[in-house]
């Protein structure tokens, strides 16, 4: 159920730091995948809050498992459908990472099958300088396996609002640009094919680059 907290508390708070949203009319009917660039702490809240509000449904989203160590934050993340994933710099145990991330992949597919949104930041971490980084292929694997549309979202200016390493946001405003949905029917059944994963990831990131007026070299 789309929560009142997101609609009446979180989204109004986010709008204080948001100058504009473009392209909302491009959103397809759920389910769909939201893929956005990641340059700021603000993105973690702004992207899911705005897309849930626009689509009027819940979003399940990947979150680094290290944030689940705090009991209060863990409760919040679980309540709002966040899905823990392990990253190599935090979890050296390869078998644990494999199991955690396979479980996350399954949960993402289940959310989409239920008609919900699934969101992630393909770069996997916040950019240190606000520029696009090389993306991981997780977004492509889910897109191919689920065969639902991917909506590229470009966030502009969030790095200036709340860059990595800063404790508090500056009172500036960001922009959210929603691109045309992308489909990858020609890659159906190839969710474990490395060349297909790279091709789909590159296509998604190049659309995000256009929306943010950047160049993607990944």
pLDDT tens for the chain, residues 1 to 218: 457 788 888 899 999 999 999 999 999 999 999 999 999 999 999 999 999 999 999 999 999 999 999 999 999 898 888 999 998 888 888 999 999 999 999 999 999 999 999 999 999 999 999 999 999 999 999 999 999 999 999 999 999 999 988 988 999 999 999 999 999 999 999 999 999 999 999 999 999 999 999 999 87
Residue 196 CB burial class (10 angstroms; 0-12, 13-18, ≥19)? buried
State the pLDDT at residue 2.
Answer: 57
CA distances from 123 to 43, 78, 192 (A): 13, 22, 19
Q: pTM for the whole thing?
A: 0.94
Long-range contact set of residues 61-68: C-beta below 8 Å, sequence gap at least 24? 61/118, 61/119, 61/120, 62/104, 62/108, 62/119, 62/120, 62/121, 62/138, 64/90, 64/125, 65/90, 65/91, 65/100, 66/90
- Residue 3 CA, distance from chain mean position: 19
| Order of strands across the sheet that contains 59-64 | 18-22, 174-178, 150-156, 32-36, 117-120, 59-64, 82-85
Give the relative orientation of helices 94-113 and 138-146 as an angle to the nearest 10 degrees.
40
Sorted by sequence, the CB contacts under 8 Å of residue 8 that are 6+ apart come out as: none
* 203/187 Cα distance (integer angstroms): 13
- Identify whether the C-beta of residue 68 lies closer than 8 Å to the C-beta of residue 84: yes
CATH class of this structure's domain 4-211: alpha beta
């Amino acid at each position: 159920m789309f929560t009142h907290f997101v609609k009446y508390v979180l989204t109004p708070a986010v709008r204080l730091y948001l100058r504009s949203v473009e392209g909302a009319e491009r959103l397809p009917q759920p389910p769909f995948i939201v893929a956005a660039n990641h340059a700021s702490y603000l993105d973690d809240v702004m992207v899911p809050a705005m897309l849930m509000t626009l689509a009027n449904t819940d979003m399940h989203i990947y979150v680094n498992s290290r944030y689940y160590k705090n009991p209060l934050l863990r409760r919040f993340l679980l309540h709002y459908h966040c899905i823990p994933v392990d990253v190599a710099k935090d979890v050296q145990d390869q078998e644990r990472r494999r199991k955690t991330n396979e479980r996350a992949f399954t949960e993402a597919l289940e959310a989409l099958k239920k008609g919900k949104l699934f969101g992630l930041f393909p770069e996997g971490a916040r950019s240190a300088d606000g520029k696009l980084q090389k993306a991981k292929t997780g977004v492509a694997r889910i897109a191919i396996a689920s065969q639902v549309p991917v909506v590229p979202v470009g966030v502009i200016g969030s790095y200036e609002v709340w860059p990595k390493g800063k404790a508090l946001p500056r009172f500036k405003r960001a922009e959210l640009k929603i691109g045309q949905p992308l489909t990858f029917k020609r890659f159906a059944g190839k969710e474990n094919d490395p060349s297909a994963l790279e091709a789909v990831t590159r296509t998604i990131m190049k659309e995000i680059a256009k929306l943010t007026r950047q160049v993607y070299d990944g």
